[in-house]
Amino acid sequence: MSEKQLSGAPAPRVTGLFLMLFLLYMFDYIDREIVSAMFPVLKTDLHMTDTQAGSLISAVYLSIVVLAFPVSILVDRWSRKRSVGLMVTLWSLATGAAIFVRTFPQLFMTRLAVGFGESGYSPGGTAMISAMYPAEKRSRMMGIWNASIPLGSLIGVVVGGVVATRWGWKHAFGLVAIPGFVIGVLFFFFARDYKTIKLEKTATSLRPVVKMRFFDIVEEYARTPSLILTYIAFAGNTFLSTAYLTWLPSYFNRFQNLTMEQSSLKTASIMAFAIVGAPLGGFIADAWMKRRITARPLFAGLSSLAAAAIWLVSFGLLRGTAQWVFMMVGATATVCYLSAASAVTQDVVHPGTWAVSYSICVIVQNLLGSSTGPFVLGKISDAYGLNVAMLLAPLTAVLAGILFLAAAAFYTRDLAKVDKVKVEIEG
């Protein structure tokens, strides 16, 4: 990979593009998580069970699964900025449409539409950041970018709880839909993109340039075990994080007798510490990688195991202030893996398939993790109580940690197979 990824792009322009990508990811998660803080009032107004409430979160992730792969092909082969701009416009309109719903099925349909819109953003944004910065800085820049996830989730929970309490839940949906729509339109017309990378293997002394076809890409991915293990490990961690993002406000509401607004603010205080986790993990992984080539998957594995242990202690042994403090530490540890693991999905594939690679990661993590976490915890809560559900969730992060450590055993070999391709900005 070239030292300067976007050849010819001035630093201020790259910084401006990164800022827009950050804001869009933030609004992605604001729109995604705002509904969880409003569960108590939604359950009353729309007569929902816990299972139905959890399904409102799961709906977003399930619909992402449907479109993530085809949209990622559009991203890689057509245009990053236009694909992202269209997706942002769609999810913002879907969020705003919740103003008009009157029943649970209608609200469920709007959440499906939000997921359809969000399906193309993380693959497109990941690909653009992979192009914007040199490979040795990939984890740390993805770490800063991924800090927008807990930040957006925090804002979504606060806005959902506070606005729904004071002015009604429909106002909350309308309020968060507008800024994302505006930024998405600006991104479509004014963002700078990198030139579409040809799908071909570079010439060597033993062979000429070879054009890559679909089955060549499938075969290359299938022979990259560090990539496959990373995809599955992602699911274990996203199961945990999405389940907790969804159910923590309800946990505080039921077990600590807090109001909906108080529960959302306490959850937000925990999420605030997650903002540190992704950048911290990225910086540590990149610094460690200077001494150990397998640092990225190793760090993802170790941080996943640490997060699982902290959450098990939080729900199994602690109450009151001690539990709250441990939850803050747990929130930081839970997202530490994200930057290093995201970088692995880009490190070990051909640059012409960056978006496709992350779309497969999105499909796996959403199908096995994000879409199932809120729903499964809702089912366990209906059967055995929410406290039991929260205590069982960290077991999936234990599995994730083991899989990341296994990926480290193959990472060096897989990295050596990747073609080195220069990436240039359009225009």
**CB crowding 185-196: b at 16 or more within 10 Å, else e:** eebbeebbbbee
346-362 residue pLDDT tens: 999 998 898 899 999 98
Domain residue spans in the chain? 11-416
Q: Quick check: 426 pLDDT over 70?
A: no
List Cβ neighbours of 218 (8 Å cut-off, separation of 6 or more): none
Fold classified for 11-416: Growth Hormone; Chain: A; (1.20.1250)
Q: In terms of pTM, does the model score above 0.75? A: yes
Q: Quick check: 7 pLDDT over 50?
A: no
CA distance linking residue 413 with residue 404, whole number of Å: 15
Which residue has 């998405």 as its token pair?
184
201-218 residue pLDDT tens: 665 555 666 777 878 888
Q: Quick check: 4 pLDDT over 80?
A: no
DSSP states of 203-216: PBTTB--EE--HHH
Helix (H) or strand (E) holding 273: helix 260-289
The β-bridge partners of 194 are 425
- Find out whether 87 and 139 touch, Cβ atoms under 8 Å: no
Q: What is the pLDDT of residue 301?
A: 98
Q: What is the pLDDT of residue 67?
A: 85
